[in-house]
Amino acid sequence: MRTTNPALNASVFAKARGGAGEVMTLNGTVNKTFALLLILSVSAVWVWNKLLQPAATVVFNEPGTTQSAAQNIAPFMMVGVFGGFIIAMVTIFKKEWAPVSAPLYALFEGLFLGGFSALMELSYPGIVMQAVALTFGTLFALLLAYKSGMIKVTDNFRLGIIAATGGIALVYFMSLILGLFKINMPFIFSSGPIGIGFSLFVVVIAAMNLVLDFDFIEQGVAQGVPKYMEWYAAFGLMVTLVWLYLEILRLLSKLRDRR
């Protein structure tokens, strides 16, 4: 079994098999996932409130205040980005540390998402609630479809999602490299039809990665891997959810720009 999520690849559960003691369960993984979501939400709300305080809403409407607000929360976002990346790498290579590192990842990721979401809310009022609703709506709809058998994870399905995700990663990497030389990739990051179509495609692929994650977690439970893998599996699912949320935000912002 393979998944495009770097945290949940084929070798992870294979290497974890054979441990003594309690084993991974589906309920335990669900509980850990909710715990990580709670930590991320608390962290995000804390940064959000530092930016969007009621007393400052009038000031934010003045020209240039969005840039000033970004400068005020930039340190939190930077800590979140780099801290989250480092913790994610540690978790992937030291999965037995997941009971500690996964909550730390959620904490750092919340710092970034809280700041980024607040900035998006300043530019596009109401967009964050829409993105959150669509993210969790997609999660539960796909979970229901997966459990009911409407979506089956076949080898061809898995291969297609892997190829598409790899292609998206390559496009983003090229965009990052070109950006260092102040070269912007045309069309796909604009609010034109091609840009909106690209974002819609990426959202669909991110959502399909959730299905692969559901399947892989189910396989891990069936194989009886050690209990700490509940935290690791929850961490892997969080990685996909964060990606999906950010891509939905990107798509909604492009649609707003078209108005």
**Model pLDDT for residues 16-59, shown as the tens digit of each residue:** 655 557 899 999 999 999 999 999 999 999 999 888 764 344 44
* Distance separating alpha carbons of residues 138 and 157, to the nearest angstrom: 18
- Average pLDDT on 211-237 reads 93
How many domains in the chain?
1
Mean predicted lDDT score pLDDT of the chain: 87
The arithmetic mean of pLDDT across residues 125-149, rounded, is 95
Is 2 inside a domain boundary? no
Under 8 Å between Cβ of 229 and 16: yes
Handedness of CA 123, 124, 130, 134 (dihedral sign): negative
Residue 117 inside a domain? The answer is yes
Q: Does some domain include residue 5?
A: no
Q: Are 212 and 158 in contact (CB under 8 A)?
A: yes
User: Is 65 inside a domain boundary?
Assistant: yes
- Asked whether residue 21 is domain-assigned, the answer is yes
133, part of any domain: yes
pLDDT value at position 15?
63
- The residue segments making up the domain with residue 147 are 10-257
Contact by Cβ (8 Å): 168, 202: yes
Of 108, 136, 143, which Cα lies nearest the Cα of 29? 143
pTM listed for this prediction: 0.87
The mean pLDDT value for 73-99 works out to 94
Let me know if residue 118 belongs to a domain.
Answer: yes
- Give pLDDT tens digits for 163-176: 999 999 999 999 88
Q: Binning pLDDT at 50, 70 and 90, where does residue 127 land? A: very high
In a domain, 3, yes or no: no
C-beta separation of 207 from 142 below 8 A: yes
